[in-house]
Each structure stands twice: as structure tokens, then as C-alpha cells.
Amino acid sequence: MNVTLRQLSVFESAARLLSYTRAAEELHLSQPAVSMQIRQLEDQAGLQLFEKQGRTIHLTEAGHELFQYSRAILHDLHEAEEVLEALKGLKTGKLSIGVASTVNYFAPRLLAAFSQRYPGIKLSLEATNRENLVHMLSANEKDLVLMGRPPEQIDLEAEPFLENPLVVIAPPGHPLASERHIPLQRLGEETFVIREAGSGTRAAMEGFFTRQGVTLKTGMQMTRNEAIKQAVRAGLGLSVVSIHSIELELETGRLVVLDVAGFPIKRRWFLVYRRNKRLSPAAGAFKDFVLSEAGNLLSLPVAAH
């Protein structure tokens, strides 16, 4: 076949996203341009690569086969680019990082310090929940991921770089705010505002209370830490969050950390990537920077009871 890298790139995006529209957005092309590239590729292959069922598209058997080859080809090309960049030193380079949504509270400080040291490296950052980070690692979509407990079902390298205590928060006027050594069972009488399914914080919270034999009453479910904090401030319930996410609220007295038996839940942040993945010079530099400097750049907020 006489195919172009452009055609393979467009096909890989459409096959991964199963959408011409989303592929066009990702590649900054028009949808007709995406359709044309795939049509030309199908002409070269002599086989249909996609089939339509209603308003959705699916890969044909030929499409599945070509998808695997296109990913391998584009991956090898990306590695070749990285090797050539390495020969130039760390004056240039690209780095794609995925982070847990709570990491995003301190990630900008890490990235700013890293960019000062390596101003020529272009950084892209995507903050999302644990479920999506696991998908990114499975698909090898990011150079590095910063997250809580690494998934066990994927062959990974994971190195801890920062403590991540989970605490119980309440508004300052809550009846429990002035109490000390609150029994864990007492929390069973309170309503909790929780994160969505797929959140690492929620999984850690539910696992902890289940092991302690405490059943929580859950109220509102929210997908953003900011919404959780606003709900707690409004008196809609207590919540369990990373202490990193409430630094400003603790400084201004808008929220308090309750003194609960068994808390904080001790967790750590990890720098994670696929095992046997050859890190680019930029990714290697960021890994070394995080492991050596994160503890100096970031300090735990003081929990005010």
C-alpha cells in the first residue's frame, strides 16, 4: 500500500475515538478532511475500515488489524523523534503528563519550577479522575502519570514522591468542629458529600470505612473537589478529601479538619509509567526532578481543628 503518515495518523485517531468528529477536533482538522483521508486509505487498502450502525461507527476486521499496525508505526516514529531530540540535549522536547484531579492543586507549582529549569520543554497537562488515568496508562497515552495508589492490573513502574493524607472536613460551625478524638462510629450519624465513582479518594474512603465496619450515609455526589468544598461549607454534609486540596480553606478558616480516630488516612502520591517504557529525555528529566525536588517545593498544609 502507498499510504502516508498523515492518513495513518488520522485513521489512528478516528479508530481510537470511534468518531470522525472527535478525531477532527483532536487533530484540528475539519470533519470532511478526516473523512477524505480515511476514504483515501480505504481505497489504498481495498477494504472498508469502518462500518456505520445508526449514528455510531465501528471498526471492521480490517480496521482492527490496521489500527494495531498504525499505533505501532506512530509509536516508533514518536520514539525516533525523541532519540533525535536527545541528541540535541534538553534544550527542546515535549512532555505529556496525566494527573489525578487532586494533584492539580499543586502540579502547577511543580511544572513552573521544572519549566524554569528546562524552559525549552513544552508541557501538556491533563487532570482527571483515577478511572481515566488507569485508561491512559493502559493505552500508554501519557509519558508520565501522577496519581494515588497505582493500579495492579497493569505492569507499571511506580515511585512515591509525596505524602497524601486524607482528612475529614466540616464547616467551622459544625457541632463536631470543637470536639477531640471523635469516635469513628460517630461519623455514621453524619451525611457525607462524596466524589464520583472512579475517584481514587472515594475508593480509599469507602475501603477505609468498610474495613472499620462503619456504614456511611451518603448524600450528594460530585465530580469536582471545588464543588465538594462548597457543599461542605454550605452545610450539606461532611467529606473526606486530600489535605492538599484545602490549603486555602484552612488558611482562611472556611473549613476545618475534624479530629477523628483513625484519621488521617495515610496515602502517598506516585509517579507512574509503563514498565519497560523508554522515557524520553524530557520525561526522564521530569521524573528525576519530581523525585528529588517535590518534597522541597511542596509542604503539607497545617490541619486546623
pLDDT one digit per residue (tens) for the chain, 305 residues = 788 999 999 999 999 999 999 999 999 999 999 999 999 999 999 999 999 888 889 999 999 999 999 998 988 888 787 777 665 666 678 899 999 988 888 898 899 999 998 888 899 999 998 899 999 999 888 999 999 889 988 999 999 999 999 999 999 999 999 999 999 999 989 999 998 888 888 999 999 999 999 998 988 899 888 999 999 999 999 999 999 999 899 999 999 999 999 999 999 999 999 998 888 888 999 999 999 988 888 776 666 44
Query: What integer pLDDT is reported at residue 230 of this predicted model?
Result: 95
CA 22 to chain centre: 20
Specify the DSSP element, H or E, that contains 244.
Answer: none
Within this chain, domains 5-83 and 166-257 share the same CATH topology: no
Query: In terms of CATH architecture, what is 5-83?
Result: Orthogonal Bundle (1.10)
Nearest CA among 101, 98, 102 for reference residue 245: 102
Going from the C-alpha of 238 to that of each of 39, 40, 150, 230, 257, the distances in angstroms are 55, 57, 27, 11, 10
3-state secondary structure of 84: helix
CATH class of the structural domain 90-163+268-297 = alpha beta
Using the structure block, give the residue that is written with the C-alpha cell 525523541.
82
Query: What integer pLDDT is reported at residue 200 of this predicted model?
Result: 86
Q: Is the pTM of this model over 0.85?
A: no
CATH class of the structural domain 166-257 = alpha beta
Angle, CA of 66, 70 and 71, to the nearest 5° = 120
Phi-psi region of 186 (alpha: psi -120 to 50; beta: other; left: phi over 0): alpha
Q: What is the DSSP string of 236-268?
A: S-BEEEEGGGGHHHHHHTS-EE--BTT-SBP-E
Annotated domain spans of the chain = 5-83, 90-163+268-297, 166-257
